Amino acid sequence: MTDNFSGRIFGRGQPYQSGGEPQDSSASAPAPYQPQMRPAAQPTNYQPAPMPQPAAQAAPQPAPQAPPVATPAATAPVTPVASPQQPVARPAIQPTVPSPAQPAPQSFVPAGRPESAEAVGVKQAQRNHQAAEGGLHMIGTVIEIAGSGSQVSLDAALINALVDHHDPSIAMAGQVGSQIKIRVGNVWLLANIRTQRLDLTNAKTIIAQVDFLGEGDEERLTGKIYNFRRGVTRYPVPGSEVYAVSSSDLKQVYAADGRASVNIGTVFPTRDIRGSLYVDAMLGKHFALLGSTGTGKSTSAALILHKICDMAPEGHIVMIDPHGEYSAAFKGNGALYDVNNLAMPYWLMNFAEHCEVFVTSSGDERQADCDILAKCLLQARSKNRLAESIGKLTVDAPVPYLLSDLTTIIQNEMGKLDKATNTAPFMRLKGKIEELKADPRYSFMFSGMLVGDTMADFLGKIFRLPSNGKPISIIDVSGVPSDITSTVVAVLSRLVFDYAIWSRNEPQRPILLVCEEAHRYIPSDRVAGESAVRTILERIAKEGRKYGVSLGLITQRPSDLAEGVLSQCGTIISMRLNNDRDQAYVRAAMPEGARGFLDSIPALRNRECIICGEGVSIPIRVALDTLEEEKRPASEDPLFSVLWQETGGEEELLDRVVRRWRAQGR
């Protein structure tokens, strides 16, 4: 202990981290630093010239080999001595806490430890460069390294001294959500500040909880971080110095590392560092885009999808668009479908989906109706010539059948009954099917034109196989009658999943399914019960990535999403969330390292977001780029103040509206 301590004091030029052994021994005991020792560890740019050591401070300095005066680091008053504003002493022959790559000026090298000329040269170059760059900015000290969260003490005066720094990243040093760096050997650890509180024993010190994000190597000459990667190999020991992270550090951290990525905005707080999303990592493990209404979710979704489409013109993206917003955004590079041209054949539905549409009863009656439907549907499907080539046909198999065959079969089954048996289930089924067939609002799905075997064509057009330069299909379901919207979304989603399963032996064509208003379709148990759409989307969330199906969920109410769905999303993009409950849900789903950002979620500006998870190297706050007008989704917000200035043509307008109304959408 004593040896180690003195070794650290005098071991400058022999970084204790590279010595191999000191880490464990130092970690097991609180670093017995003395406040007086700190000044020497100051970056050179703070204290260009050594100053005389006040007697009061010099007095208690022990002889190097003497047992240290144990002053726990947590209570060490860092501030008074380390503050740049306060002239502080640097002892002539100093006991100094070494900062391995931040050596004190040459004159402080203790006698008897000559450095090689080369080492001296490199260090001088480092100093010069760091001075030119504005140098390193120490802001505090590591207090505790623990699994549950590590703590650092930050010096309020040092932080305040930086607030006007020309580099916005340095100016933000020490704030919740900002990053710090700590040197361990010749790597820099990067950590995120999660919480802050005042040290009650010393009002000039702030105790902050931090989460480690990853580490990068130190560029020998500049001291900057490069080759950043996630995860931490070695933790720092208590007592290690904590530095502000500069924009040039961040630039290195965010530098796309050769993986495919799309650039979406500017990283906060820098002015020019681009934030990017790693496409494969983001799509490989699903993503969620969250934010209260009006914060820019739809526009952000369009922005991200546009960038992905530009990168992957032969991609396969299916966007379910409940409000009909996105057609406007993807006129140029999307295949646009709505009730007028979707032509989704009813026979693509599986049995559960058929029940949702054809069975109207509830309780015990519902079970009886479903049993009858199962039997009759199987008969109707088996009438198709295709059925002959299929060994054992199931009710779920997407084999075309005629609705008229189905109703005839139901009629016949009813005829086979004893007089005493209840015919009501048969009547209900037949009645509902005929009603759907006759209603023009349902014709996009139940039209007599849809009996042909168009399955391959249908899949080809909505999955963009081939994409023909339009890698995204926008499926506007706003015109679908509300009682079957959820079933239509279920069918589309299930087709994506089933396609992936049945094409396993084929050349892989991964598909991204994007679902707006996801809370409607994957609602929590509190909000709604079982449904076909919820079942399939939950299944895609859990298993989709095994089969190359990626899910993108967009919602303004993350707390209404089914339990567990959010945590299946490897990347979370959160815009402002105003509601406490929603924030709590997002917090639970975010990885540890991003917690420091959460406090800023309610404070984000429009079109600002926090991104964490697989899609980014470290959690980032990004101001999204402005999306060109013609690529934006149709905004839902009418400008009352402008529109209420307009008048004229009301008679014709009402005429047209009434006609459309009566024709039910045509």
> From CA 126, how far away is CA 103, in angstroms rounded?
9
Residue placing its CB nearer to ligand ADP in the complex, 323 or 461: 323
Size of the site for ligand ADP (CB under 6 A): 16
Burial (Cβ within 10 Å: 0-12, 13-18, ≥19) of residue 276 = buried
Contact status, residue 622 vs residue 267, Cβ threshold 8 Å: yes
Among 296, 345, 471, 570, binds ligand ADP (CB under 6 A): 296
> From CA 243, how far away is CA 566, in angstroms rounded?
34
Residues that bind Mg ion (CB under 5 A): 297-298
> From CA 192, how far away is CA 172, in angstroms rounded?
12
| Binding segment toward ligand ADP, per CB under 6 A, in 82-90, 129-137, 288-296, 405-413 | 288-296
Q: Which residue has the tokens 């979406």?
A: 264
Closest approach of Mg ion to the CB of residue 49, in Å: 59
Residue 295, C-beta contacts closer than 8 angstroms, at least 6 positions apart: 575, 576, 604, 606, 607
3-state class (DSSP) for residue 483: helix
Residue placing its CB nearer to ligand ADP in the complex, 209 or 300: 300
Per CB under 6 A, 294 contacts ligand ADP: yes
Among 179, 298, 454, 524, binds ligand ADP (CB under 6 A): 298
Per CB under 6 A, 35 contacts ligand ADP: no
When CB distances are held under 5 to 8 angstroms depending on the partner's kind, the choice from ligand ADP, Mg ion, none that residue 607 binds is ligand ADP
Closest approach of ligand ADP to the CB of residue 552, in Å: 14
> From CA 430, how far away is CA 405, in angstroms rounded?
11
When CB distances are held under 5 to 8 angstroms depending on the partner's kind, the choice from Mg ion, ligand ADP, none that residue 32 binds is none
Per CB under 6 A, 627 contacts ligand ADP: yes
Residue placing its CB nearer to ligand ADP in the complex, 190 or 304: 304
Q: Which residue has the tokens 């706050």?
A: 621
What's the start-to-end Cα distance of the chain, in Å? 85
> From CA 450, how far away is CA 411, in angstroms rounded?
22
Cα-based distances in Å from 234 to 101, 166, 189, 216: 17, 32, 9, 12
Residue placing its CB nearer to ligand ADP in the complex, 328 or 527: 328
423-462 positions binding ligand ADP, by CB under 6 A: none
| Binding segment toward ligand ADP, per CB under 6 A, in 9-17, 35-43, 294-302, 467-475 | 294-302
Closest approach of Mg ion to the CB of residue 300, in Å: 9
Closest approach of Mg ion to the CB of residue 309, in Å: 19
Among 47, 57, 295, 571, binds ligand ADP (CB under 6 A): 295
Residue placing its CB nearer to Mg ion in the complex, 298 or 493: 298
| Residue whose Cβ sits closest to Mg ion | 298
When CB distances are held under 5 to 8 angstroms depending on the partner's kind, the choice from ligand ADP, Mg ion, none that residue 45 binds is none
| Binding segment toward ligand ADP, per CB under 6 A, in 101-109, 287-295, 332-340, 370-378 | 287-295
Per CB under 6 A, 304 contacts ligand ADP: no
| Binding segment toward ligand ADP, per CB under 6 A, in 90-98, 161-169, 206-214, 626-634 | 626-634
When CB distances are held under 5 to 8 angstroms depending on the partner's kind, the choice from ligand ADP, Mg ion, none that residue 303 binds is ligand ADP
| Binding segment toward ligand ADP, per CB under 6 A, in 163-171, 186-194, 289-297, 401-409 | 289-297
| Binding segment toward ligand ADP, per CB under 6 A, in 109-117, 167-175, 290-298, 445-453 | 290-298
Closest approach of ligand ADP to the CB of residue 629, in Å: 8
When CB distances are held under 5 to 8 angstroms depending on the partner's kind, the choice from Mg ion, ligand ADP, none that residue 541 binds is none
Closest approach of Mg ion to the CB of residue 304, in Å: 14
Residue placing its CB nearer to ligand ADP in the complex, 106 or 626: 626
> From CA 57, how far away is CA 60, in angstroms rounded?
7
When CB distances are held under 5 to 8 angstroms depending on the partner's kind, the choice from ligand ADP, Mg ion, none that residue 299 binds is ligand ADP
When CB distances are held under 5 to 8 angstroms depending on the partner's kind, the choice from ligand ADP, Mg ion, none that residue 635 binds is ligand ADP
Residue 14, C-beta contacts closer than 8 angstroms, at least 6 positions apart: 7, 98
Contact status, residue 477 vs residue 527, Cβ threshold 8 Å: no
Q: How many CB atoms lie within 10 A of CB 169?
A: 23
Per CB under 6 A, 303 contacts ligand ADP: yes
Residue placing its CB nearer to ligand ADP in the complex, 127 or 297: 297
> From CA 401, how far away is CA 419, in angstroms rounded?
30
| Binding segment toward ligand ADP, per CB under 6 A, in 24-32, 286-294, 424-432, 588-596 | 286-294
555-574 positions binding ligand ADP, by CB under 6 A: none
Closest approach of ligand ADP to the CB of residue 176, in Å: 25
DSSP track, 594-622: GHHHHTTGGGPPTTEEEEEETTSSS-EEE
Among 123, 194, 607, 621, binds ligand ADP (CB under 6 A): 607
> From CA 251, how far away is CA 225, in angstroms rounded?
9
**What would the two tokens of residue 573 be?**
């993009």
> From CA 292, how far away is CA 574, in angstroms rounded?
9
Encoded one letter per residue, x for contact with ligand ADP by CB under 6 A and - for no contact, window 246-285 reads ----------------------------------------
CA-closest candidate to residue 188, choices 244, 121, 132, 147: 244
> From CA 458, how far away is CA 206, in angstroms rounded?
62
Beta bridge partners of 368: none
When CB distances are held under 5 to 8 angstroms depending on the partner's kind, the choice from ligand ADP, Mg ion, none that residue 86 binds is none
Contact status, residue 235 vs residue 218, Cβ threshold 8 Å: no
Give 161's Cβ-side CA count (13 Å radius). Answer: 18
Per CB under 6 A, 291 contacts ligand ADP: yes
Per CB under 6 A, 297 contacts ligand ADP: yes
Per CB under 6 A, 632 contacts ligand ADP: yes
DSSP track, 5-16: HHHHHH-TTS-H
- Report the amino acid identity of residue 395: V
Cα-based distances in Å from 648 to 36, 80, 656, 657, 658: 81, 74, 14, 15, 17
Run of H or E including 457: helix 455-463
Per CB under 6 A, 553 contacts ligand ADP: no
Residues at the site binding ligand ADP, with contacts judged by CB under 6 A: 291, 293-299, 303, 606-607, 624, 626-627, 632, 635
